[in-house]
Structure 1
Amino acid sequence: MAEVKENHVSSRRQEILAAATQAFLDKGFSGTSMTHLAKVCGIQKASLYHHFPGKEDLFIACVTDGYAQAVDQLDDLHGDDTLNDVEKITAAFDCLYRITISSPVGRLSPVIAEVSRTMPNVAKMFHANYIARQQAVLEKIISAGVERGSYRPQNYKVLHHLVFGPIVTLSLSREMFASFDDLDSHFPVDELKAGHLSAILTELGVADTMQPLSQPA
């Protein structure tokens, strides 16, 4: 019985986080009240406060719980012995682009930027629970390849920026210009991901086997 109750609480929490994430996407952090959040979550405001002490706590939970899935997926890749080193990096890029560009929580990047200056705790929690952990897992994946001779040694501080910088920039750009009818022609995710992966493989010392970038007619 206790397990059933625990599963119900966990499921309800996930439903609240999903609804709150969409609300923050629609209205931003400052434009979203606990009253509105309770309404979209389908519960009384008092019940919402029972789950989360305040709006900042709820926002942090939306970010850290959602992004934790990406870290778990990267961890799984690191331990997957059925993939070679290049396949692991390719799968890691698929994971990073999917969670950062396509998922609701990934699309919160502009809202995270909105609140991080005035609410340092949000920035600290986001960095500790996602950025630092994600970088550590990617570093483990690449370090294992370096040890096996698949990759050349790396300056990881530089490499982290080379990997994560373009993904975050693309996410922010797509949200900034989300109203464009031709958004995908300006920011084509698959094409940019392929070019980004090709550049990183070259930096790692892997012969570039990717298709050349298309040239304008």
Structure 2
Amino acid sequence: MSTAPRQRRKEARPQELLAAALSLFVEKGFAATRAEEVAALAGVSKGTLYLYYPSKDDLFKAVVRENLSSRIAEAAVLAAQHQGTVADLLCHVMGEWWRQVGLGTAGGISKIMMAEARNFPELARFYVDEVVQPTHRLLGSLIERGIQSGEFRPVPVADTVHVLVGPMLHMILYQHSFGACKLHGPTIDPPAVLAVQMDLILRGLLSTPPKASDQ
């Protein structure tokens, strides 16, 4: 019985370390974050941190897998099981991505990579393999699915995926840059912007334009 609390603490350490690392990476950037800061925020020694993650690169990769890769995989499973229209599925996937990633700290990972990829090409390659390509494959598969079913008109799939991703990325970058500074300027209401984006996208994709009563 006396070892149970220590066992629970040991099992919790990886999650605590990843949460601390995510917070500091987003706040300070990858290059400026030090391992001892992550360990201190998580309430463990630097040696304990290295026991789980031998290098800062390993720690960052684990943060990406925990907060982004896993959610992309979950969305792919959901898409494979979906029985309704592709339009509804596409709206759901985009909405959930914003709810789970864009609204939280995890969205800041995208800003880190946009800002620091040039200085850390190995991590950039990892991010492309783990996040960018799987996201594009998932969204591309939905567009292709809609085209094959006749729900969507034929469109260039890869280009359409960029049109889907672009506004989402813009909102995330704004939120973690100008938005974090609390500057007075153009305001962004992400749910409203996402709703307009999907309305415009679907009106361009659907084989049969929505009736006036649906507008």
TM-score by length of structure 2 reads: 0.85
Report the identity percentage: 23
Distance in structure 1 (CA, Å) of the matches to 2:40 and 2:104: 23
Secondary structure at 2:105 match in 1 = coil
TM-score of the two chains, using structure 1 as the length reference: 0.84
Which consecutive residues of structure 1, in runs of 5 or more, have no partner in the other structure? 1-5, 213-217
Within the candidate set 166, 178, 181, 1:179 is matched to: 181
**By how many angstroms is 1:209 displaced?**
7.1
Q: 2:162 aligns to what SS in structure 1? A: helix
2:46 matched to 1:45? yes
State whether residues 155 and 205 of structure 2, in contact with CA within 8 Å, keep that contact through their aligned partners in structure 1: yes
Q: Structure 2 counterpart of 1:195, which letter?
A: V
Aligned equivalents of 1:60, 1:142: Cα separation in 2: 29
For 1:120-199, what aligned pairs fall within 5 Å after superposition?
Answer: 120-177=121-178, 178-180=180-182, 186-199=187-200
Distance 2:202 2:8 in 1: 42
Unaligned 5+ residue runs, structure 2?
Answer: 1-6
Q: CA RMSD in A?
A: 2.6
Distance of aligned partners of 1:173 and 1:21 in 2 relative to their CA distance in 1, 3 Å threshold: same
The list of structure 1 runs, each at least 4 consecutive aligned residues, that deviate by more than 6 angstroms after superposition, is 6-10, 209-212
Q: State whether residues 22 and 63 of structure 2, in contact with CA within 8 Å, keep that contact through their aligned partners in structure 1.
A: yes
> 1 CA distance for matches of 2:99 and 2:159?
23
Q: Given the alignment of the two structures, is residue 15 of structure 1 paired with residue 26 of structure 2, yes or no?
A: no
Structure 1 contact 38–48 (Cα < 8 Å) conserved: yes
* Matching residue's letter, 2:171: L
Kindly indicate whether the alpha-carbon contact (under 8 Å) linking 1:198 and 1:208 is maintained by their aligned counterparts in 2: no
Distance across 2 between alignment mates of 1:27 and 1:124: 21
**What is the rounded CA distance, in whole Å, between the counterparts of 2:100 and 2:123 in structure 1?**
19
2:3 is aligned to none
State the SS of the aligned residue for 1:79: helix
Q: Is the 8 A contact 1:115 1:122 kept in 2?
A: no
Q: Give the number of equivalent residue pairs.
A: 207
Deviates more, 1:56-65 or 1:14-23: 56-65
Would the aligned equivalents of 1:110 and 1:175 in 2 still touch at CA under 8 Å? Answer: yes
2:38 is equivalent to residue 28 of structure 1: no
2:4 is matched with which residue? none
Alpha-carbon offset, residue 82 of structure 1:
3.7
Distance 2:63 2:117 in 1: 14
Q: C-alpha separation between the residues in 2 aligned to 1:209 and 1:110?
A: 39
Bigger Cα displacement from structure 2, 136-145 vs 189-198: 136-145
